[in-house]
Structure 1
Amino acid sequence: MRDLRDQIDGVWHAASRLSSGSGGCCVMFIAAREGEGTSSVAASFALLAARKAQKSAWLLDLDLRRNAAFAAFEDGFARGVGRPGRAYDASLRTEPIYTVSSPVKGQSGADVANKLLSVHEIDRTRLLVSRFRNELLGHGQRVRLKSQPEWWSRVRQAADWVVIDAPAVTRSSAGLSFVSEADGVFIVVRADSTGPQEVAALRDEIAASGGRVAGLVLNRMGSDARFADRLAG
């Protein structure tokens, strides 16, 4: 993962123009296939949002099994930013945005399936980064994401910005399941390898799933990283 904060001004300005019906603004970053740099863009944007936030920004990594965003902050990928600190329960006193195939027992023997998603403060910032507690799952237990409008409403009340890092659609449909929750969706494209047909196909999938495409992020053009804040026809 790379720190791209000094290269995404266009994306920030495009996102700042989005309107939110209630509470904080929610944006999603998604790509057609893996290796496009989506997590770098999402984490870098989340750091910018946290710097400008009055309350906080939440970075929600939908790839629950990998926790790549949390791991990147643990590894210190961003200059001048601390490591993950105190953890908070991300259930927000409502049903979570996932289901587990069978009960998850805590040390007391109680079912803790609704408490598996946490958010951690990133030291010296107003950023909260999600982490899914996979270590509490038993062998064969499966996790599925689900629609939960009340959770999204509450997270918008808790944060000024909600930034969704979605896995590539070739790997998982998780992002498409939640595009309708975002005020705007940015498609991340490795511009030196991804064709316009793939971009157009993903744009159509997002629209068919109830999402609104807010722009195109052109990543890794040649040896550089350049960005556009609009989606070309």
Structure 2
Amino acid sequence: MVDLSSEMAELWASLGSPAAGRSRVIQITAARTGEGASTIARELAHHAARKVGRSVWLVDLDLVTASQHAALSAEAGRYGALSEAVQASPDGSAFFTVQPPAQTPDGAVWPDGGYLAAHRVGSARWWVTRFQRERLIGRQSVHLVPTADYWNALRRFAEVIIVDGPAPDRSRAALALAPFMDQTVLVVSADQADVRAPAQLRDAIVGAGGQVTGLFFNRGVVETPAFMKALAP
């Protein structure tokens, strides 16, 4: 794997400092699958965990493949082994809902937050989430819930929350949840000269009430190429 330490340090510095005592939620996404947004989200969380006083959470909006959990498991030598699963919701809230709801053995409704697990990464102060799709039964399906409840609950426990948002060609999660993010960073691949899709996603996020505060030009390039300057927020 390419060492992105210097790029992550630069990206982290470019995001600025939050208000004193306030946690922040930073979404990393891209206009197209394959541009490397998940890698950047994972590396930024890894970097942030060494910089902040409280914990860092990497929240994976991929409710199908749980790619962040899989990637961290596969690279335990680099990041550290994952802990046993714990509940990833402080109060039972979630950024999704499972319908129709399941019942617990005593007849109560199984909370949506019970489907989301968290694993500590090595001995560091960071955690990664995984949607437990194997818990779905019968005709159950999962749907996004565009509210601030889960994010506000998690802010009380984490200093930085990095959100890995799938590209819109796979899911509308990044766009639907953009209003509840403090910052959104768009990742653009170095070998993609066509910037129409990133520009359209930027405009859609802003139109939905989100804030695009950064661009990351992937493949380890630090200086922004000329064709990217028109996209800069």
TM-score, with normalisation over the residues of structure 1? 0.88
Letter in 1 for 2:14: A
Q: What is the deviation of 1:149?
A: 1.7
Residue 197 (structure 1) aligns with: 196
Say which SS state the counterpart of residue 50 (structure 2) adopts.
helix
Do 1:27 and 1:162's aligned partners in 2 also have CA atoms closer than 8 Å?
yes
Residue 165 (structure 1) aligns with: 164
Question: Does 1:103 find its partner at 2:98?
Answer: no
Letter in 2 for 1:99: T
- Partners of 1:36 and 1:78 lie apart in 2 by 24
Do 1:4 and 1:40's aligned partners in 2 also have CA atoms closer than 8 Å?
no
Letter in 2 for 1:188: V
Q: What is the deviation of 1:195?
A: 1.3
Residue 10 (structure 2) aligns with: 10
Question: Does 1:76 find its partner at 2:71?
Answer: no
Aligned pair in 2 of structure 1 residues 229, 45: CA closer, same or farther (>3 Å)?
farther
Letter in 2 for 1:116: Y
Do 1:20 and 1:183's aligned partners in 2 also have CA atoms closer than 8 Å?
no
Do 1:95 and 1:148's aligned partners in 2 also have CA atoms closer than 8 Å?
no
Kindly report the root-mean-square deviation, in angstroms, between the aligned alpha carbons of the 2 structures. Answer: 2.4
- Partners of 2:187 and 2:121 lie apart in 1 by 25
Say which SS state the counterpart of residue 186 (structure 1) adopts.
strand
Say which SS state the counterpart of residue 154 (structure 2) adopts.
helix
| Paired residue total | 227
User: Where do 1:147-162 residues align within 5 Å?
Assistant: 147-162=146-161
- Partners of 1:78 and 1:168 lie apart in 2 by 28
Residue 229 (structure 2) aligns with: 232
Letter in 2 for 1:10: E
Aligned pair in 2 of structure 1 residues 142, 2: CA closer, same or farther (>3 Å)?
farther
TM-score, with normalisation over the residues of structure 2? 0.88
- Partners of 1:20 and 1:211 lie apart in 2 by 18
Q: Give % identity.
A: 33
Do 1:104 and 1:136's aligned partners in 2 also have CA atoms closer than 8 Å?
no
Residue 64 (structure 1) aligns with: 63
Q: Name stretches of at least 5 consecutive residues in structure 1 with no aligned partner.
A: none
Say which SS state the counterpart of residue 59 (structure 2) adopts.
strand
> Any idea what the Cα deviations from partners look like across 1:136-175, whole Å, max 9, x if unmatched?
1014321011023232112111101000000001111100
Q: Name stretches of at least 5 consecutive residues in structure 2 with no aligned partner.
A: none
Aligned pair in 2 of structure 1 residues 174, 143: CA closer, same or farther (>3 Å)?
same
Say which SS state the counterpart of residue 96 (structure 1) adopts.
coil
Aligned pair in 2 of structure 1 residues 9, 200: CA closer, same or farther (>3 Å)?
same
Do 2:62 and 2:166's aligned partners in 1 also have CA atoms closer than 8 Å?
yes
